[in-house]
Chains A and B, each alone.
Chain A
Amino acid sequence: MNSAKKKPLPFPLFALIIGLFLVGVSFFSAQAQSPTPSDNEVNKVAKELYCPVCENISLDVCPTQACAQWRALIREKLAAGWSDEQIKDYFVAQYGDRVLSTPPTRGLNWLVYILPPLIFLGGVYLVYRVLRSMKNKKPAPITPLTTEPGQTDPYLSQLEAELEQHRKHGE
């Protein structure tokens, strides 16, 4: 630029530089801009997003116009070379945490992931206690099922015993 100020460039050289510049720009922009993203690429991102207009239906199948616009926006961002994560972060920043299919793991949201396993573990512990306390007790005498006279088939006798018991207790 400095040299251009000092003495004017000859026109052919100027034209050449401009020409090269234009070619370069179009080449690089073509490089940066991947071909129009396909519907499948858009849907891959949209599947994991939820638009507040159609609650509980993921963005890739929601038929409203608002969602169609969101998908168009995803396509635009993909075309601009954004990664899936970047796009999701952008949507969260724009529209809040509710666009994600599961709450992000921070603050109070940890509860949603922690509480059910904790309660389940509590249940496991209780069942364990029940089973243990029963093991500590002396097992009551159990009549072996196979020793019933006249029955040669142990399975059949067990089955019969159970069926009989059912008939007696059942209604």
Chain B
Amino acid sequence: MNTLQDETKAQEQPRRLPTWVVGLAFTGLVAFLLLVGLGLRRAQSGPIIVGQKVPGFSVTTFDGETIDTANLTGKVIVVNFWASWCKPCEQEAFELESAYQYYKPGGEVVFLGVDYVDTEPEALAFINKFGLTYANGPDLRTKISQMFRIQGVPETYIIDREGKLAYVKKGPFLSTAEIQSVIDQVLQ
């Protein structure tokens, strides 16, 4: 817009534009590009990639228990995003539960269900229907899903003993064996 003003003052102006004007124009352009570039980078890959450390987060389960991942170092954490309205989540719910039962005695693997954009009564009905016994809690203010930048449900993230992201699964697991083979790899 500053052109309009300069139009009328053109006669009094020096031959070349002052350096600061040029500098300002390009600074504006660079700032804009930087912003869009960062946005693009964020859209293209989430802040957490496999091998990167996962920032700590906490889930308050439907039972009222608070689980903080900061206290779980040394254990493998399986974070499963799901929702009661999601059909594929129903497919894998049983498999996840049986995998949980399989690792439960060892105590080395923690299962954490994060309920994405869901209502509590429906979520509880879902948990009852599939008999889920591992920790499940709502994703309050969609903070956890935003941190992982999930694209949909179900998605599963496995965090290794050092707290680094070890594995990402988008879409449902097809069998308990598939889940176990993935977890076993991380455990080793």
User: A: which residues have CB within 8 A of B?
Assistant: 51-53, 64-66, 68-70, 72-73, 76, 92-98, 122-123, 126-127, 129-130, 133-134
User: B: which residues have CB within 8 A of A?
Assistant: 1-2, 4-5, 7-9, 83-85, 117-119, 121-122, 138, 140-143, 146
CB distance from B69 to the nearest CB of A (A): 20
Check A66 against B117 for contact (C-beta < 8 Å): yes
Residue in B1, B117, B143 with the greatest tally of chain A CB atoms within 10 Å: B117
Residues of B within 8 Å of A93, CB to CB, are: 140-141
Interchain residue pairs with CB less than 8 A apart (11):
A51-B117, A53-B117, A66-B85, A68-B85, A72-B122, A76-B121, A97-B141, A123-B1, A126-B2, A129-B5, A130-B7
Residues of A within 8 Å of B119, CB to CB, are: 69-70, 72-73
Check B9 against A95 for contact (C-beta < 8 Å): no
Q: With the chains together, A52 CA to B142 CA distance in Å?
A: 9
Check B8 against A126 for contact (C-beta < 8 Å): no
Q: With the chains together, A52 CA to B7 CA distance in Å?
A: 47
Check A98 against B142 for contact (C-beta < 8 Å): yes
Residues of B within 8 Å of A94, CB to CB, are: 138, 140-141
Check B117 against A52 for contact (C-beta < 8 Å): yes
CB distance from B154 to the nearest CB of A (A): 14
Check B118 against A66 for contact (C-beta < 8 Å): yes
